[in-house]
Amino acid sequence: MTHTQIRAEVPDSVAVSTPLGGTGDSGLRGVGRRVLASLLRARKALLIHVALRATGLAVMAVWAERKDVRPLEILGGRWDAVYYLHMAQNGLTTPMPNPSPCGFAGPDCQLAFFPVYPMLIRYTSYVTGLPMNWVAMGLALLASVVAAWGIFAVTDRIYGRRVALFTCALFAIVPAALVQSMAYTEPLFLALAVWAMYAVMTRSWLTAGVLAFVAGATRPSGSAIVAAVVLAGVWEYVQWLRKRRAKRPPVGRIVAASLIAPLGWFGYVGYVGWYFGQWNGYFELQRRWGSVFDGGFDTLVGLKKTFTEVQTTLNHVVVSLTVVTAVVLFVLMTRKHRPPMVVWIYTAMILLISLGGGGEYYFSKMRFIMLAFPLLFPFALALARARRATVLWIVGPTAVVSALFGGNLSFVWWGSP
């Protein structure tokens, strides 16, 4: 049995050596040493991840040159980025200019977007003096690297360094990988969420609670990491009661983390409700946007259209393949190599939100599902056991196709990725 296979059989409570606030060192010097050690361990994976993303961006830049369009306009000035920049420049409650790009949702439609990313753009721009669109792109690119580092750290603790490296590489070339380099909330949210999961795995409960709190105020799907942190704490205590844990979990810190984690998500939803003068104001705003939870009916309709409509687009086909593949990979991940409970709950929640949401957003499901990076574990485990030539023949062409598809999303597809 290989090392990778042995690590793949670790149960849901992963044995760890040094938590984020561990006892091996004390003070800032000890934290700095652990951060540096983690970064050095992940350096190869991060270099590969950045190189693959740079390939995709290079293809997009060449395409932009041929179309006489600035790459910054594509990555930081379209679709959702318009709302983030408006909120950053004018505050959360300033209505969109007339005519509004979301007139059908009302003058305060921007409140459907959560506040952490635009406010981070706002204050970073004030401090640095840089234009807000530059800051938006810089923060997104930095967050994407931090997210990749977190993906490596989480996967490394479960399956080992080699599987973690392939998970990082695969994440850089998923169909919606272009969004990792756009002024969207996905990079920042994932950076927060993945390190919150790592904190749970290393028993740093308060850190996990704070990260989940910020992630919950970053985008609507922040409820996934909130649920993961809270339910993972409950799971730890239940496992101890059932004599499956030798050491009693730190109940006080778990309770504190469980109280802190939901405050960001519920706080913003409550604020929007207060602003509109009704408790369900945020959900009513989402309904006006066309975003509702229908249990997956809209997803099934979208899948049906892939096979029944003559003018099916490339994006429609790729989104449908992503949806089906995600379900299959989740079953494989659950049955064969189930990750720690916090990772499993997070993945299940992201899938539930992505596939259960209805309205006009079928084509965005590929982007929503991208956040469920643990779905890549079965592929990464297979690549970790494969020969180098096989890996190159799989990853190389996939990277090229991913880069070309990113160009298609930017210059051929008519809507938001």
Concatenating the DSSP letter of every residue in 23-64 gives SSS-HHHHHHHHHHHHHHHHHHHHHHHHHHHHHHHHHHHHHH
Q: Within 202-313, where are the H helices? A: 205-216, 222-241, 251-260, 263-276, 281-289, 297-308
pLDDT digits (tens, 9 = 90+) for 267-326: 999 999 999 999 999 999 998 888 888 888 899 998 998 888 878 889 889 999 999 999
Residue 103 has pLDDT above 70, yes or no: no
Query: 137 lies in which domain range?
Result: 3-7+41-411
Residues 365, 291: contact at Cβ < 8 Å? no
| Residue 360: pLDDT band with limits 50, 70, 90 | low
Residue range 151-158: mean pLDDT, rounded: 96
Residues 377, 339: contact at Cβ < 8 Å? yes
Cα–Cα distances (Å) from 54 to 141, 172, 177, 366, 399, in that order, read: 11, 9, 11, 21, 11
Residue 394 lies in a domain: yes
Tell me what pLDDT residue 52 has. 96
Question: Residues 176, 58, 193, 413: is their CA dihedral positive or negative?
Answer: negative
Residue 12 lies in a domain: no
The phi, psi pair for 401, rounded to 5°, reads -65, -40
> What domain count does the chain have?
1
Q: Within 292-387, where are the H helices? A: 297-308, 314-335, 341-356, 365-370, 377-385
Report the chain's mean pLDDT, rounded to a whole number. Answer: 89
Question: Residues 46, 47, 48, 54: is their CA dihedral positive or negative?
Answer: positive
- Tokens (6 digits) for 198: 């790592």
Cα–Cα distances (Å) from 266 to 119, 232, 271, in that order, read: 18, 19, 8
The phi, psi pair for 99, rounded to 5°, reads -75, 140
- Tokens (6 digits) for 154: 């989480």
pLDDT digits (tens, 9 = 90+) for 179-203: 999 999 999 999 999 999 999 999 9
Residue 291 lies in a domain: yes
Kind plus residue range of the DSSP H or E element containing 357: strand 357-359
| Residue 1: pLDDT band with limits 50, 70, 90 | very low
Tell me what pLDDT residue 29 has. 75
Name which of 45, 46, 25, 43 is nearest 34 in CA terms: 25
- Which 8-state DSSP code applies to residue 22? -
| Residue 4: pLDDT band with limits 50, 70, 90 | very low
Residue 25 has pLDDT above 70, yes or no: no
Tell me what pLDDT residue 365 has. 92
Residue 271 lies in a domain: yes
Residue with tokens 């997009």: 60
Residue range 111-123: mean pLDDT, rounded: 96
Residue 14 lies in a domain: no
Residue 416 has pLDDT above 90, yes or no: no
Question: Residues of the chain with pLDDT > 90: what percent?
Answer: 66
Residues 96, 102: contact at Cβ < 8 Å? yes
Residue range 212-216: mean pLDDT, rounded: 98
pLDDT digits (tens, 9 = 90+) for 55-90: 999 999 999 889 888 888 888 888 899 999 999 999
Residue 298 lies in a domain: yes
Residues 191, 150: contact at Cβ < 8 Å? yes
Mean pLDDT lowest among 72-76, 128-132, 160-164: 72-76
Residue 120 lies in a domain: yes
The 3-state DSSP class for residue 359 equals strand
Residue 16 lies in a domain: no
The 3-state DSSP class for residue 282 equals helix
User: What whole-number distance in Å separates Cα of residue 241 and Cα of residue 244?
Assistant: 7
β-sheet bridge partners, residue 293: 357
Residue 17 has pLDDT above 50, yes or no: no
The phi, psi pair for 265, rounded to 5°, reads -65, -55
